[in-house]
Structure 1
Amino acid sequence: MASSSKPKRIYHVFLSFRGTDVRNNFLDHLYRALDLKGIYTYVDSEELKKGDQIASALMKAIEESHIAVIIFSEDYASSTWCLEEAVKIMECKEERDLKVFPVFYKVEPREVRTPREKYKEAMDKHESKFGENSEKMKRWKKALLDAGNLSGWLVKEGDDSEHIQGIVKEIATHLGREPLHVAKHLVGIDSRVLKLKSMLNLESNDCVLMVGLWGQGGIGKTTLAKAIYNDIFTQFEGSSFLANVRETSKGCKDLVTLQEKLLNEILLRSQRLVVSSVDVGTNLIRERLFCKKVLLVLDDVDDLRQLSALAGEGKWFGNGSRIIFTTRDEHLLTAHKIDQDHVYEVKALDNSEAHELLTKHAFSTHQKLKIRANLVDGVLNYTKGLPLALEVLGSFLCGRREHEWKSTLKKLSKIPNKSINDVLKISYDGLEENEKEIFLHVACFFKGQEIGYIKKVLGSCDLEIAIGLKILIERSLISIKSGTLQMHDLIQLMGMDIVQQDCRDDPMRRSRLWLYDDVLDVLSYDMGDCAVKAIVLEPHELKEISINPDAFTKMRRLKLLILRNVYNSFQGPVCLPHWLRWFEWPGAPCFPEFSSGPKRLVGLCMSKSSITIVAKQYKDLQQLKYVNLSDCKSLVSMPDLSCTPYLKELDLAYCTNLVEAHESIAKHDKLQILRLTGCSELSVFPDVLESKHLRTLYLDGCTKFERFPDIPNELEDLEELWLLGTAIKELPPSIENLVSLQNMFLDNCKNLEIPELPPSFSYLYAEGCKSLKNNGDLTSLHHFVRRGLSMADAYSSGQVDNRCLTISKLFYLEESC
């Protein structure tokens, strides 16, 4: 949808005058002075073309002007046509925001307002002709009264030149408050402007509102800011749109320039204010604007000092003022005390809007070329609703044939468009080193993956992941949706391109590798100085790769190595550099070896491997926090956890030959998650479980597991207990010590008896518990289950006491009870 239509403006100034009075002196000089300033001025003798209908042409010219200057000379009112012009001008002032300046040329303003002397004589003559109470006379008198009350210039004999210069300066200043050029083609703007106007609450003059427009580069923040500015700026006493604040304010001197521009645009001074320093400018803004209703737009802000110097506080401005910022950094708005209710997130165009914008740029009205729908869809899929990309690519593809569209899409899949990339890269360039590293890892490897997994991997690589991800979200570079990390395709391509620019022809000089051929090249050479920090290889189909045992040991910077869907044709263990932080290779043929030196590995993921025992090298991996050996069907013994004192998570799910849980799990200080799901042969477990920081214990599917360990008071962090399908007959009374326990899954524990549960308990899943027995307070709960009453009904009838109301959900099969 295009932006709402505005009055078409052709002329800067319309001059209304009585020719016999001023045409050959004052008027001529004023017209020439305006012309020298480049101000396009309508004067009937200059602009009326032969054959035009004079009346309609003049009225149309008034409608198409920004400013009207009425020169009230002695004989002005004697002309009925001049009076009709005055009426039309005052109508346009009310209806079309026409700015009107009166010039009282050798007459007093009161002579015009309440017709006196020459004006009274002229109006008396008109009354005798048209009638004193005629509609025509009423309109003329009102126009003279209203225009005569306006602020203007009083020009007396002999001072024409001085006043003409003042008039021209004032007009030139006012013309600075022009609508801004927004864009060649506007799509989807109207609905966004309406939503933003609602947020701005323009009807209220009780306070000053500050609103932030936030979004990624190229999303249309500036376009929306210009559109809302054009729509509302005439409602304010003064307005200023400061574009490219980030670029302009790279030093204090440039902030001074912005302060001067703000003050002079809002105050409309013919004599410019000069600001000597940022502090002086700050004081001037507060002193000059505190009682003035203003509209101020600061476009592309990226530093708090910019806001502090240009719009530090709402009380700097008069009530009813509206201050709008556009930024890529949401935290900047938070730091400036703008609440979330006044932050407008600018989002990508939807599919229909994107198609419309692409069509407007890519296909001219006279174009006869037909482009296949799949090629158009390819561009839409590439741009993902980003207006900048749609405009740039649409304009580039305009007039090109199908094979050129196809070639362009192929090229873009390898190398991003520079014009688009340069805009997007601004957000990356403003990041600190920690955030740059996280961003490049995400762009190259982790888009669309689960956020918890990403935090583990990147946190293991010496990166401050919590604050890093938060900053990337605030800078509109990533988002988190449904627990997964998302990134616009063009931002991802920008990140990949940054890495590839390290050296397009030599992957060994790049920091990150993710393409099969690049990894193959690097592993094939006897490397000298290798720049690779991370390798994540995940081909769509199973790929063979020959990895020499020492292939990785010379990668002195390698911290992250993930190989999925890859098998090694070179038999024998791979030797890894001792500084590696995360190693992940599902299906690895054997346990890796490590180069000499202190081992720094934090994450070890070797699910679906054919290992039978954990190699002796494991005892050297004392920094391990995450171990995943799930689905290792041949694994017969659990590793000794005392060798890894910092271990947080151990996953041994579906290790179907694992019989015994190592006694070291019972007292581990750091262990939080222990997953033994599907270990169908597991029957031996420590008698007492004392891992005081354990939060989740998975024993579901351990069909030979019969006895649950005793629980001391110290085990306070356990929140979830999974025992589905086990052979246990009872839970120990000490389960009441689990003061944080909320969820327990007991489905198909066919012989189970439940003791009293802790007060923190919320969810009990007991489907298929055919011989469910209960002790303590849960006896009444058992009756409640079997009778199928609602919790409220059971409680009111006395069958369930207040103790049982902590259980909000209970799942079971009626026929199994």
Structure 2
Amino acid sequence: MDKFGGLSTMDPCRRYKIRAAVRKHEGKVTESQLSTLKNLCCFGNKVLKISFMAASSSCLAAQCKYDVFVSFRGEDTRDNFTSHLVAALCRKKIKTFIDEQLDRGDDISPALLDAIERSKISVIIFSENYASSKWCLDELVKILECKNKNAQMVVPVFYHVDPSDVRKQTGSFGDAFVKHEKQFKGIPEKVQKWRVVLTEASNLSGWDSMNIRPEAKLVDEIIEDILKKLKDKSFSSDFEGLVGIYSRIEQIKSLLCVGLPDFQIIGIWGMGGIGKTTIAGAIFNQISNDFEGRCFMANVREESERGGLVYLRERLYSEILEETLKIRTPSVPKCIKERLQQMKVFVVLDDVNKPEQLDYLAGGLDRFGLGSRVVVTSRDRQVFDKCRVDKIYEVEGLNQNEALEHFSNYAFRQNICPKDFLVLSERIVFYANGNPLALKVLGSFLQRKCKLQWENALKNLTRISDPDIYDMLKISYNELKQEEKSIFLDIACFFKGDDKDFMTRIQDDPESVHYGLNVLVDKSLVALSCNNKLQIHDLLQEFGREIVRQQSVKEPGKRSRLWYYEDVYQVLKKNKGTESIEGMFLDVSQIEDLHLTSRAFVKMPNLRLLKFYVPGQITGSDMCTKVHLQQGLQYLPDELRYFHWYGYPLKALPFDFSPENLIELNLPHSKVEQIWEGKKHFNNLVMLCLSHCESLRCFPQNIHFRTLIEIDFSYCINLTEFPEISGNVIELDLKGTAIEEIPSSIECLTKLEELDLAYCRRLKSLPSSICKLKSLHLLCLYNCSNFEIFPEILEKMECLEYIDLESTAVKELPSSVEQLKGLRELILEDCSELSKLPENLGNLKSLKRLFAKRSAISKLPSSIAYLDEVIELSFHGCRGLVLPPILSGLSSLTKLDLSDCDVMEIPQDIGRASSLEILDISGNDFDSLPASIKQLSRLRELYLSNCSMLQSLPELPLRVKLLDASNCKQLQSLPELPSCLEELPISILEMTSKHSLGSTQFKILADPCMELTFTDCLKLNEKGNNILADLRLIILHMAIASLRLFSEKEFKKPHGISIFLPGSGIPDWFSNQGSGSSITIQLSQHCCSTNLIGFSVCAVIEYEDDFPNGGGYFNVGCSYCFEITALSETKHDDFWYLGNQVSTCSDHIYIGFRPCINFGLPDGISVSFHFFTYNLFTNNENGHKVKSCGVCPVYAHPNQTKLNTFTINMLPPSEEECDEIRK
């Protein structure tokens, strides 16, 4: 992912669809699932049709709620306290609802009421004018109603107001109520209700800004309180309805030994349905946030069969690193491997059935960092025995009491069994043998049934001499109606993980199927995820497929459904199909070439589902030629409702085929030239996909599509005319076609939501009638290289959210774009003819993102400062860009890219863009930065490379973790720092010890790192030792800042520091120096147990004139080992730093600080360090020579003027000072 969101290199429209999918599910799924969605969206072909990695055996319940609802008075706190609090909540991955609407009516919206109801905690920010807002008071009424009815937690914050004024409605609150009583004279009960809730809320335990200062500390304490409340609530909800799970979870947690500095793999073993996934999921929810990286990888068995282990590993590492990776090689690139080795991660691999799966995804002691834990669930003990699994936990069945309670929850909707059903229940529980899934299915089956029906069920059970889980499941299955059985078998064989609406619409009677699905859900045979995906337990899926196998064990052609590729291959190859077959799915990537006769389907008149496909991540022309029809195709069953054939080899479908029943026709990468010869009626067709059909030249005019809502003709490169289609179409994909003109009649497509015209290189304009498309959400013209004229928008378009004009020839945007009231994202990248933006750009009040990289824009309109909702702006490569003097209105802006724009001056009020987190102003011509940049309290990354005129840096914000000032040729000085170091509370030393368990732990924390890069800033070296002496102070100040941010929970662990700059000598303040690449130091005899904070390290890297091209990109690594008297251990920890391309004509110095953990060590140890460089893209050292190196321990010293505080120094403290720290 790139530094500006990671989506910029993605296919057209995908960025919008990902964000739309994420917005759609925010507040409805967990943060982990949202992260998974973002990653998965980057892999699938159909972004909006990808499901979450749902748990295979027991669906991980998604809490469809917000964590926090914030009630506040916008004019008081929107741009200060509330924005800071919400940003802090988001940084902690707390799902927060904040009402961003400024224009409000008199009544609170239903959406807002719903958001309050679906929140776990409401935070009420009482400010001076809170009570003057009827809207706020109505919010408060609803919040207190949810508190009293649903036990919602409420956290009041008294921001610059006296709680007494809120309680008694005096002061500004009293003034507000004088006005309310006049306005609502006729309905005094309304005003009285407001008074009551204000009094009630003010009596709750809360936070007073007058008592906790500064404001940042108040925010931190509120966040800490909310996190604790959420954790307590999550802990109890994890076990809700899960009988017997608590003790099992605690047993596994004791095996995990979280906190020990080692790497462990724990196996959870048990039969299907016993609760392995449920237990692993509950543990994941409880402890995964204590790790730096995390991933719940469900359905490993099924997913590896579908997409292969390379693809699965790609998904796993993408989620751990929270970015999109493309690793299509058997080996993992060294840069990724090392990042994983430096992370403490928690991974669950669910339903592993082969040792090679575990070995490939998590094998090897060096795969993840120390302290990492991998939990593996499997039914096969051999998986654990053949791999290096440290501990194995066998999940046993529920005991008698637990089983009875679990069964009662489903049979009687209560956890106590009624006395008159106790004997019957105990007999059924006996047969279930403690299996939770069997108990759940049997309980759901018997719910609301009379005793006679219970007796009959028991008779069926007793007839089985040795009942297994399948026998018990069959009792529930046999009670289903025929249509419900058919739906269950379709899901088990074909549709697991698919969208419910898709599965429903391709059936005979969608309404009946919808009802049948509800029955299956009620009987616990299938489930629906929060994003409407069909889910079925692995065991139930196997049970359903076994029912189909038993229809004809030896002759697959006599079964109703075929899904296994070998069965399908043999049936088709040997022409063994029969009228029994209703569905046939074939993964053609799994088979050899298959030659079919023209009558291949004649014996299958009842075939309604036919799919020849390749998995989404597999592409290639060789896949299109696997199934051959040299003799043509004479027959397709008229019963077909779903017809999907990847690489269909013929020019048209059979003439005699009647498509009356067809609902989805999908023929990607086929040789079709026209769908049919002659007139045909598609009375039920909903989706038509002919993507990559290069022989298709026109849309069929003789075919009627009355019900069509989705059309995909993408990359039909010979399609020249816009199709005449009905007004019911919702999605129209014409990307990569040869269309030259869009007719004005497009206005008839009144239901159209998505129009994709990317890569239509002959298209020059759009008709102005486009504004009639009131339902349009997405308009993509990416890489329409001849598109010159953007149409006038003559009417308001409130639904259009996304416009992509990247790489078009558009010359200007009309001022009428202000009619696009709902526009959220505008892409203008590489518009080389676009020289300006409309002056009224600031009227696009909904705009969130504007990307205009490498366009010809030379001046920004002053109204851009009015885009108070925009969060991302990019003008990279807009040469000669002139910025407006004022940027202060961009209060929501988090990412700003002005790199390579030849900017001469940065606006002085840049510091008022208070939300800015990433600022890239590299490659510009300014000679200084405004002092106000220090006010950017949230700034984390600052890019200044190649600013050739920059001479000095002002003081920078505390939270900057990355500063890249490489190749700033004129840079002479770094920010001045005070000579006095800040004191820190000794409690921080106690906090760092929480990273350690065990008596001999010693670990240098390698990652993450605060990075300062000054490569090729040669004038920095002209000051000689002065700049190197300053670095000592910089190291100490940054180490202090890192420890403080760690103590404030901003960092999960103390951060290291990396600085790279020109130079050839080790600074004098390094107490241990040596030539070459290695050095060993002896630590002080009395300072090891608590005073040692970390190490400052230094390496001089020598460059040679004849160094190979491309060798400028490199890492600096350092391995270490330590030795204790009477105990010798070796620990390795490779930390690395990515340098920019550096000059080969001068030496450079790498200086860093790395915090360490050493609690419990005896005094007096020696530590050896070895420095090396290696190429970023290879596994080998790259040949840069380490000329010399140095190490200096950094110690805590007690502050003599302030009790219980310490500062840090590079001199060892005295024995007395060490004793004081210990005390």
What's the TM-score once normalised by structure 2's chain length?
0.32
Query: Which structure is higher in helix share?
Result: 1
Q: If the length of structure 1 is used for normalisation, what is the TM-score? A: 0.45
Based on CA coordinates, which of the two structures has the bigger radius of gyration?
A: 1
